[in-house]
Structure 1
């Protein structure tokens, strides 16, 4: 780390961050942008696929567009390592600013891309490249933000801050559906297909610029600055990775249940209910907005409880209830014993602990010098393997006539995560 950053850290009192509120805002708004950029591509794909991909078959074009969504999951672990190494050597603030600048810049370029009618095969190639770039940056975004919140939040509010910062991901999802709705109202389906979809990516870029402006106004975390002034050598860094393999395995396993639960509850549940025949497509989609808002509130409540009761205890209780309640809850939905809106509210409340607490919990398991990479790589691998593939796997089960096995898969993933908590070895103060 440069002497200039170390000097600033020496002059910065531990209370200079306004008890972490500016850092919390910087991390949360980044989660909003990351989630919005990720989701807006998926919800707009049916509208831009025909223009951006050559060929005559609309189904093939849409599938090709979804490839651009999938590749982002593939490269996220690589991005977690690349951006994470920057965060662990150059600083959290620098990495967060860099990742947001890249994400926003790529959104602007996607909005300005010429269509396949003008560029031919080059149009989809450029689109996929830009999504790869975004995926790389997004891979390091959440782990860097988690480390930053961990190092700047007041100790007695760390998990409240963890939940608030991750709520940005949920808010980004809500905003993406809101923007799509506004575009359809303003332009109609034909207008959105005719170029209105570009506005969605411009909104993403504008949100990114706002996040970039906020992040440029915050300070580096004092904890990183002090540790980074005498950072480890390459050999010492590799030794730290080896020494923390057990906790890295725990991060991976805990992330399995958290990511499956999140994608089941926020992405696939409406389609699941529709395939059960208990609601129509319109009803299932409309039933999501209120529960997603309540999910944010539930995350805040769980974060406050974790600060009082202990994060690991609260997480284990949350995962236990999630593993035990998922199948009965979905059986009640299938047999008409509970309405769709109530099942959605309850299930999203159950995933509040796994997705709200793990940000800071994971970061606390590793020394400052390797924190972002050590937590980020196993976390993003789990998301890529189990989160990005969950809708596809669930749909394959449904097609094979085994739709009722989907809740068992989600419950099993929660049980795996619960077992993963047993691997956790708390980080000693001397190792930080």
Structure 2
């Protein structure tokens, strides 16, 4: 078995060890995004089950607001679980977050609705999303830290991109499960009880993830870091941690907005404003997610070769230029093949950013404080610009009486992201801090 060195850490580790670590790190992100996309796709049914009313838009807004509430807990989750990971190891923190996420996903599947428990039902749903957000806030960035710290120098873009691959797999599994029930159940069955099935299936990932994570080692980079320095020393010797977290948060604005618009909200948008049949929408999104998962490591590899910044800037520029005219074309009435091609194009642009973004944002931080402060920056950015993106898009359409309104939000995020990326140093060939 060929061995590979990890940024100067000794001893070298085998490719098989890195592969096992990547699978263990990725399964939690797969569950996290499976849960998110399942909620996003089924928001219409959750709104009617937990927030019934005479106005369908109001029920949908309530469901999306609850979706966004979970993201408010992410900064706290990044603080708590990230601090634990920086002091006691990535493995211990990831094992705990895996159990919490799986439990909460399953609870949503068995939760009584408004018709059974009245106002207590939506209150419990909000609580469940808050707990899920707390655990997810520590999961994603700690898993990314785990991956990047295992990666050999010169391959951090590729290995770090596997976090986005895992997220894409979660989206794909969620999309596939919703597509399956949407095409096999009647609308009445889907509304009555069918929406519960994907959440119950997600709970089954928990035991598998726990077993995988219990069987892997701590990262070499972290083991070396704790021998030579402390969290407090790193906080003194480097730029203030809050500044690094702020940089990470700004960097993640475009990624968050584009991710939730194109891979979550677009399914609702296509049905409500493009009048596309639900089976076509879900099938298209499922195939697009396959494309997304396949392209991410390709762009991660490219970022290792030509640098992170060219890949990231190309994604921002393409999105800023194409979003408005393509949405205008879709709203003008198009055939299914044109709709599918448009979704695939947006997917490629997002995969470009996702391939390079993971390593880029992790490389901003020293190893000893990476999980906590990356978690805080990520949590705040995703809470504001990610989790509430479906709500903001729905609100913009209602306020401006135009389904084109969300395009301005996407374009603004792409411009901010592109300008900020120009200010960053290139880190593709640099040593991990």
TM-score by length of 1: 0.85
Q: Which residue of 2 aligns with 1:3?
A: none
* Match runs of 1:218-297 below 5 Å: 218-232=216-230, 234=232, 236=233, 238-239=235-236, 242-272=239-269, 277=274, 279=276, 283-297=280-294
Q: Which residue of 2 aligns with 1:397?
A: 396
Q: Which residue of 2 aligns with 1:77?
A: 75
Unaligned runs of 5+ in 2: 1-8
Describe the shift of the 1:25–1:346 C-alpha distance in structure 2 as closer, same or farther (beyond 3 A): same
User: Is 1:388–2:387 an aligned residue pair?
Assistant: yes
Q: Which residue of 2 aligns with 1:418?
A: 418
Unaligned runs of 5+ in 1: 1-10
Instruction: State the alpha-carbon separation in 2 of the partners of residues 262 and 103 from structure 1.
Output: 21
Instruction: State the alpha-carbon separation in 1 of the partners of residues 275 and 120 from structure 2.
Output: 44
Displacement after TM superposition at 1:94 (Å): 0.9
Aligned partners of 1:246 and 1:423 also within 8 Å: no
Q: Which residue of 2 aligns with 1:358?
A: 357
Q: Which residue of 1 aligns with 2:318?
A: 321
Describe the shift of the 1:186–1:147 C-alpha distance in structure 2 as closer, same or farther (beyond 3 A): same
Task: Count matched residues.
Answer: 420
Instruction: State the alpha-carbon separation in 1 of the partners of residues 98 and 175 from structure 2.
Output: 21
Q: Which residue of 2 aligns with 1:406?
A: 406
* Match runs of 1:125-204 below 5 Å: 125-184=123-182, 188-204=186-202
RMSD: 3.2
Higher deviation after alignment, 90-99 or 200-209: 200-209
Aligned partners of 2:176 and 2:286 also within 8 Å: no
Deviations for 1:74-108, whole angstroms, at most 9, x for unmatched residues? 11111111111111111111111111111112233
Q: Which residue of 2 aligns with 1:8?
A: none
Q: Which residue of 1 aligns with 2:34?
A: 36
Q: Which residue of 2 aligns with 1:4?
A: none
Instruction: State the alpha-carbon separation in 2 of the partners of residues 347 and 103 from structure 1.
Output: 29
Instruction: State the alpha-carbon separation in 2 of the partners of residues 67 and 382 from structure 1.
Output: 16
Deviations for 1:163-204, whole angstroms, at most 9, x for unmatched residues? 232122222122223223334556544444444444322211
Instruction: State the alpha-carbon separation in 2 of the partners of residues 37 and 270 from structure 1.
Output: 16
Displacement after TM superposition at 1:122 (Å): 3.9
User: Is 1:305–2:296 an aligned residue pair?
Assistant: no
Deviations for 1:353-412, whole angstroms, at most 9, x for unmatched residues? 222221121111111111112222122211111122222332333332343343233122
Aligned partners of 1:321 and 1:350 also within 8 Å: yes
